[in-house]
């Protein structure tokens, strides 16, 4: 069965194109910034182990399920789930699952684009710096450090200066989302696939070169130790407070792009002769390798210059700039680093964007001409909306001075008041938390229950096409028992109990 409906969908040109696009969606700011940040906050090696277990035993089965649901349903993401539910005798209310996912994708891309804009800004900024340096000191400066002759405070302060300039943030966010809109408007083969096959190989080369430079010039020993030698005592203690588990599963979902109907949408374009289990395996393995190699590109520099391992976003944009000033090749290294970030972010943002775009395109009841017209018009409209909401996010990041200077409505506005979990956060942070801690786990939970219980065994067995019945039964066990249990647990713990406890302990 191609799909329960009669129509035809756009398809990937082949297995390789699909895998590159899916890896492109998975590999993004989540790997380059969020993973090192999470590893740093959660004690390094201990987190890495728990994370890898979460990827392969919880993320991977859900990834297979999403691809399978999309391909089996066909059409638009919401219609795909509804159609599948109907043909399996389940309630059409399951369509809600895709709506929630689509909304999550849309919300994520509104702030993802702003952060990608920061990466783009620094890429441009460092190119300018290199030119200035070569102009002043001759061609030899090409291989020298960045920001020659500038004070340390001045260098780390460039991130603060960017945040204090909403106009600059909006400009780069605007450029980034305009490029995304252009790519998505061109459709699956002509847009998304082309971008991924062009950008991902460059990305891999940059990542490899950067990690080699970093490992040879930085403190490789300490980085390896930090990432791969878990402190088991710490692991035990952290496990008890549950946080490491919540963070590891949350990171696995974010990094593998799950719970947001995105992989369902990519599954819609998947042809029947591409094996879902082996493609999903490849995507999960590649995504995890990129996260680890990114750690090997970042932590040697971090330890070499005594930067804090748990520095978060501030780590990438502040102190790392300082490292570029002190290391040989710092100018080129910095440009390559931010270019790599921009490419990775671009292939992820177009994937997120594709979910509402595919929804706007509509289902099989429309003819092909109408669907491509709707994709085009819908993409423009959605791109415009993402831009506008991103502008609000950008304003929400402007720092407020101790004297109250720099205040604008959006950096003072805490949209969720005192609500546990979201209270006291600015629009961007609240959107990040709402999607990452609530909507993605909820989406993942629903996918597990739908694929594990609502859909018949014969249908999932046939569509997934595992090589052996034993492998299929293993997937089925994970999707029915392990995934819903742990994802449900982090949903209840991470989104409900922990914030309430934190609020109570803070006020007592």
Q: Are 294 and 32 in contact (CB under 8 A)?
A: yes
Q: Which long-range contacts (CB under 8 A, 24 or more apart) does 359-368 make?
A: 359/76, 359/77, 359/78, 359/102, 361/76, 362/76, 363/5, 363/7, 363/75, 363/76, 363/79, 364/3, 364/5, 364/6, 364/7, 364/74, 364/75, 364/79, 365/5, 365/7, 368/8
Do residues 101 and 62 make contact, with C-beta atoms less than 8 angstroms apart? no
Q: How far is CA 323 from CA 121, 232, 314, 484, in A?
A: 18, 31, 13, 43
Least distance from C-beta 344 to ligand TRP, angstroms?
7
Judged by CB under 6 A, the residue of 255, 379, 396, 426 near ligand TRP is 255
Binding segment (CB under 6 A) for ligand TRP, from list 46-54, 67-75, 296-304, 345-353: 345-353
We find the least distance from the C-beta atom of residue 222 to ligand TRP, in angstroms, to be: 26
Q: State the nearest-atom distance from the C-beta of 105 to ligand TRP, in Å.
A: 6
288 binds ligand TRP (CB under 6 A): no
CB of 303 or CB of 317, closer to ligand TRP: 317
Q: Which is nearer to ligand TRP, 26 or 327 (CB)?
A: 26
CB of 468 to ligand TRP, least distance (A): 30
Enumerate residues 6+ apart whose C-beta is below 8 A from 117: 169, 171, 172, 173, 174, 175, 176, 390, 394
Q: Does 437 bind ligand TRP (CB under 6 A)?
A: no
d(CA 381, CA 370): 16
Using rule CB under 6 A, residue 64 touches ligand TRP = no
Q: Which is closer to ligand TRP, CB of 70 or CB of 145? A: 70
Give the nearer residue to ligand TRP in terms of CB position, either 26 or 430: 26
Angstrom distance (rounded) from CA 174 to CA 214? 32
For residues 161 and 321, the answer to whether their CB atoms sit within 8 Å is no
- Is 299 a binder of ligand TRP (CB under 6 A)? no
* Ranges within 142-201 binding ligand TRP (CB under 6 A): none
Task: Out of 76, 185, 260, 359, name the contact with ligand TRP by CB under 6 A.
Answer: 260
Number of amino acids touching ligand TRP (CB under 6 A): 17
Q: Give, rounded to a whole angstrom, the gap between the first and last alpha carbons of the chain.
A: 60
Q: Which is nearer to ligand TRP, 316 or 440 (CB)?
A: 440
Cβ neighbours of 6 (radius 10 Å): 9
Q: Is residue 351 a contact residue for ligand TRP (CB under 6 A)?
A: yes
Among 18, 118, 176, 254, the residue binding ligand TRP under the rule CB under 6 A is 254
Stretch that binds ligand TRP, among 1-9, 20-28, 133-141, 268-276 (CB under 6 A): 20-28
From 97, 102, 262, 322, residue interacting with ligand TRP (rule: CB under 6 A): 262
Q: How many Å separate Cα 57 from the centre of its chain?
A: 19
- Closest to ligand TRP by CB, 110 or 325: 110
Q: How far is CA 255 from the centre of its chain?
A: 5
Half-sphere exposure of 286 toward its Cβ, with a 13 Å CA cutoff? 21
Nearest residue by C-beta to ligand TRP? 30
With CB under 6 A as the contact rule, which of the stretches 231-239, 264-272, 347-355, 448-456 interacts with ligand TRP? 347-355
CB of 28 to ligand TRP, least distance (A): 2
Looking from the CA of 152 toward its CB, the CA atoms found within 13 Å total: 6
Between residues 238 and 251, which has the closer beta carbon with respect to ligand TRP?
251
Rule CB under 6 A: is residue 352 a binding residue for ligand TRP?
A: yes
Among 76, 110, 185, 257, binds ligand TRP (CB under 6 A): 257
> Are 59 and 253 in contact, with CB atoms under 8 Å apart?
yes
Q: Which of residues 193-252 bind ligand TRP (CB under 6 A)?
A: none
* Region 24-63 residues binding ligand TRP, contact defined as CB under 6 A: 25-26, 28-31
User: Could you tell me where the DSSP H helices lie in 138-193?
Assistant: 152-163, 166-185, 187
- Asked if 108 touches ligand TRP (CB under 6 A), the answer is yes
Is the Cα torsion angle 209, 215, 218, 223 positive or negative in sign? Answer: positive
x/- letters, 325..344, toward ligand TRP (CB under 6 A)? --------------------
**Residue ranges binding ligand TRP (CB under 6 A):** 25-26, 28-31, 105, 108, 254-255, 257, 260, 262, 348, 351-352, 440
């Amino acid at each position: 069965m191609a799909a329960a409906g009669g129509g035809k969908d756009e398809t990937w040109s082949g297995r390789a194109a699909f895998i590159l696009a899916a890896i492109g969606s998975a590999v993004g700011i989540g790997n380059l910034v969020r993973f090192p940040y999470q590893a740093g906050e959660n004690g390094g090696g201990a987190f890495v182990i728990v994370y890898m277990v979460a990827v392969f035993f919880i993320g991977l089965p859900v990834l297979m399920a999403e691809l399978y649901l999309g391909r089996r349903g066909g059409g638009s993401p919401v219609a795909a789930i509804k159609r599948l539910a109907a043909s399996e005798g389940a309630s059409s209310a399951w369509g809600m699952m895709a709506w929630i996912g689509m909304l999550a994708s849309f919300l994520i891309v509104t702030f993802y684009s702003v952060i990608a804009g920061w990466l783009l800004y620094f890429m441009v900024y460092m190119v300018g710096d290199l030119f200035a340096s070569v102009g002043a000191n001759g061609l030899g400066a090409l291989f020298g450090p960045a920001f020659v002759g500038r004070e340390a405070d001045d260098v780390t302060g460039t991130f603060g200066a960017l945040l204090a300039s909403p106009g600059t943030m909006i400009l780069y966010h605007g450029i980034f989302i305009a490029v995304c809109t252009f790519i998505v408007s061109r459709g699956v083969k002509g847009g998304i696939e082309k971008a991924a096959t062009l950008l991902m190989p460059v990305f891999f080369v940059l990542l490899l070169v950067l990690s080699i430079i970093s490992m040879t010039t930085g403190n490789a020993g300490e980085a390896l130790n930090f990432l791969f030698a878990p402190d088991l005592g710490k692991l035990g203690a952290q496990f008890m407070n549950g946080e490491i588990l919540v963070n590891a599963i949350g990171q696995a979902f974010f990094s593998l792009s799950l719970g947001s109907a995105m992989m369902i949408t990519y599954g819609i374009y998947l042809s029947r002769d591409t094996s879902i289990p082996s493609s999903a395996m490849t995507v999960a393995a590649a995504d995890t390798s990129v996260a680890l190699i990114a750690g090997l590109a970042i932590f040697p520099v971090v330890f070499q210059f005594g930067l804090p391992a748990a520095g978060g976003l501030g780590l990438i944009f502040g102190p790392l700039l300082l490292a570029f000033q002190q290391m040989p090749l710092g100018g080129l290294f910095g440009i390559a680093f931010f270019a790599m970030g921009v490419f990775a972010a671009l292939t992820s943002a177009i994937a997120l964007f594709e979910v509402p775009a595919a929804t706007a395109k509509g289902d099989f009841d429309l003819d092909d001409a109408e669907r491509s017209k709707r994709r085009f018009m819908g993409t423009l409209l959605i791109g415009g909306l993402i831009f506008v909401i991103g502008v609000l996010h950008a304003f929400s990041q402007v720092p407020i001075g101790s004297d109250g200077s720099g205040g604008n409505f959006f950096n003072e506005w805490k949209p969720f008041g005192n609500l546990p979990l979201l209270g006291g956060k600015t629009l961007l942070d609240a959107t990040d938390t709402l999607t990452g801690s609530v909507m993605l786990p909820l989406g993942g939970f629903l996918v597990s229950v739908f694929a594990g219980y609502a859909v018949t065994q014969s249908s999932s067995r046939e569509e997934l096409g595992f090589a052996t019945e034993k492998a299929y039964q293993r997937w089925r066990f994970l999707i029915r028992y392990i995934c819903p249990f742990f994802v449900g647990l982090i949903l209840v713990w991470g989104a409900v109990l922990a914030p309430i406890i934190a609020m109570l302990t803070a006020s007592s």
